[in-house]
Structure 1
Amino acid sequence: MGATPATATMQAAVATSIPSERLAVTRVPRPAPETDQDVVLRVHACGICGTDLHVLAGHSYRPETPFVLGHEPVGVVVEAGAGAREWLGRRATITLFTGEGSCAACRAGDERLCPDLVSITGVLGVWGGYADYLRVRAGQLVEVPQSLSWEDASSLVDGGATAANSVRVALGRDPRRVLVLGAGPIGHLCAELLRVHGVPVQAVEPNPLRRQALRDLGHDVVASVEEAAAPVDAVIDCTGVPAVMAPGLDALNPHGTYLLAGYARVPEVDFAVVARKEADIRGIRSGRREDLESIIALAAAEKIRLPQTARWRLSQANDALDALRAQRVPGKAVIVPDSVWKDEVA
């Protein structure tokens, strides 16, 4: 299944405890295929998601430590089990969720909704892409076209699938106008997808860097929900900020839909406004394989414009996390393994 020596190691940024603000950049055993359906990806880039910050802060999933985060990897398949050799040498990214396989959700292709979820690669149960190499099931792989850079592709893995799922659900209600809360990578991609579908969209973003980045693409962006042009037929909340939910619900038309692409604990919500408008509140959990495939295809065809990417070496992973916490990243933060960085420079 692979000739990787048992003693081979790789560089990784490891969470040694949770909660924590720092990762330990160290050497760990390099993975090799363990079954006929396993592949090993040489990571060329891995996006940093807000979920990673929440996990490290102890506010989200609690993987057993030591653990390697990173659920937005892209790379090249360099090893494969006997049943997955057709993937060798191909550029790929991954779907994240592994369900138990037999429930209705898994059979429908919705492993992410499995009530007995086995793992979320890079989040829970299976080590992720803040490393030189990553082992996954071949069934998780999604091909990445040559026309997409590694960094751009990594911005689509979870954020793109989430945006595509959010917009697909919103469009199912035939909205005349949509309000997107948050212009980070997911909000940015939601605005671009809605533009492609010809749906008027306004975004709310308090961070001036991200607000200007979306404005530079011609989008209508304001600094607060109070400044937004309401009412709207759908709100896509990409913030995970409790304070935006009440004004976001107020912005809805009757029978409007509030989509939770980002989510938080909201201590007090007046559900009277939901009842009075007969509004729907709909959760969004990442996206289906088809969502990821569709947004990759749109990006490869240059039909949508992607967030700006800022790169850090894997050995600088903590600097990247600090920049995100300080809101100094206008678009997508991406980690590139040091070995890949050296190859690119050479």
Structure 2
Amino acid sequence: MPQDPAMAAAVATALPADHLDAGRLPVPTVEADDDVVLRIEACGVCGTDLHILSGGSYRPRLPFVLGHEPAGVVVDAGAAAREWLGKRVTITLFTGCGTCARCVDGDERLCPDLRSITGVRGVDGAYAEYTRVHARQLVEVPDGLGAPQVASLVDSGATAANSVRVAMAREPRRVLVVGAGPIGHLCAELLAAHGTRCRVVEPNPVRRKAIAALGHDVAASFDPPVDVVIDCTGVPAALAPGIAALAPRGLYVLAGYSVVPSVDFGELSHKEAELRGVRSGRREDLESLLRLADEGRIRLPELSLWRLSEVNAALDALRAGDVPGKAVIVPDTQWQEYA
């Protein structure tokens, strides 16, 4: 553990807001037998962070430290978690009640009595030098992946794996992935690994160029008919043309979501199509993505790194559509590893 009892952190102090405040917070300490403290090496930036800051999503109690895609090293542990000391890890995000049928089945994210989502609500996240989580959340990471690579997979990778698992249950011949951000990129890579034909729709020329450079079939507009649409955008305007692109009895997977002011569900009914929501993924989804990335069977999004002290520049770049792949935050104390 550090000698300095305070750490650098980027803190949300108001919502809505267009920035995070630089702060010094106490380094978290072990409070329970199954607690561990992570020294953060990298943390991915998720679109959910932008939605929270805009006031249009979760509303954590303030002040709050965002950042739910960490990679780091366990530097302190409670009595029941000492075997984790020194290990490189990432985390599952959701802490449920632990006793309901969903929790027992490994679907804590669907718990009706959800206790917290690390870095989203209830428990401070990893836009900081350290964070505290439960040992049961830990996922050990392969030695072959660097911290920024791991951070690019935590939530976006689990969501992509869950989305593709849902899609592949239909044995589709053709899939349309809407959005070439980190989730859409990974969906396209996973579908390619399955040998399933896929087209990616991306209006942003920066992201369209990045995904096309990997050899994926890319378009600027929708191209019907398809068996499955995986909507990774969280953009209201994508829903209507996405539904229109579905073949009869097709499946529309909402990997990204938003408030849509007006929806005509008649087309879904006329096609007997199905609308399916996806919320992140299971532990095994994340573990499978880490393994596939480590084995080189999927290619990761292009990484753009910012120091923790530059987190607002990263958020601005994402808002402007200037990030071709995944934005990742690195604590200033770790920056020399990647400079």
> Shorter-chain TM-score: what band?
over 0.9
Paired residue for 1:282, among 264, 267, 276?
276
**Deviations for 1:94-150, whole angstroms, at most 9, x for unmatched residues?**
000000112111111100001111000000000000000010000000011110111
Paired residue for 2:264, among 258, 261, 270?
270
Distance 1:108 1:343 in 2: 39
SS of residue paired to 1:191: helix
SS of residue paired to 1:325: helix
- Alpha-carbon distance, 1:343 to partner: 5.4
Q: Does 1:129 align with 2:99?
A: no
Of stretches 163-172 and 237-246 in structure 1, the one that deviates more from structure 2 is: 237-246
Which residue of the partner structure matches residue 303 of structure 1? 297
Q: Give the alignment of 1:1-346 within 5 angstroms.
A: 8-225=5-222, 228=223, 230-342=224-336
Distance 1:329 1:113 in 2: 31
Distance 2:2 2:146 in 1: 28
C-alpha distance 4-311 of structure 1, shift in aligned 2 (>3 A): closer
Distance 1:152 1:24 in 2: 26
Distance 2:315 2:305 in 1: 12
Distance 2:336 2:31 in 1: 29
Q: Which runs of 4+ in 1 moved over 3 A?
A: 342-345
- Alpha-carbon distance, 1:4 to partner: 6.5
The answer to whether the 8 Å contact 1:101/1:107 transfers is yes
Aligned AA (1:297): R
Distance 1:295 1:342 in 2: 27
- Alpha-carbon distance, 1:155 to partner: 0.6
SS of residue paired to 2:177: strand
SS of residue paired to 2:28: coil
- Alpha-carbon distance, 1:342 to partner: 3.6
**Structure 1: tracts of 5 or more residues without a match:** none
Query: What TM-score do the two structures reach when normalised by structure 1?
Result: 0.96
SS of residue paired to 2:25: strand
SS of residue paired to 2:131: strand
- Alpha-carbon distance, 1:30 to partner: 0.4
**Deviations for 1:239-271, whole angstroms, at most 9, x for unmatched residues?**
011111111111111110000000111111111
Distance 1:224 1:155 in 2: 27
- Alpha-carbon distance, 1:57 to partner: 0.5
The answer to whether the 8 Å contact 1:4/1:32 transfers is no
Aligned AA (2:332): D
SS of residue paired to 1:258: strand
SS of residue paired to 1:187: helix
Aligned AA (1:110): D
Distance 2:15 2:98 in 1: 29
SS of residue paired to 2:281: coil
SS of residue paired to 1:287: coil
- Alpha-carbon distance, 1:221 to partner: 0.6
Distance 1:197 1:4 in 2: 45
Paired residues, what number?
A: 339
Distance 1:221 1:95 in 2: 31
Distance 1:308 1:122 in 2: 23
The answer to whether the 8 Å contact 1:46/1:336 transfers is yes
SS of residue paired to 1:12: strand
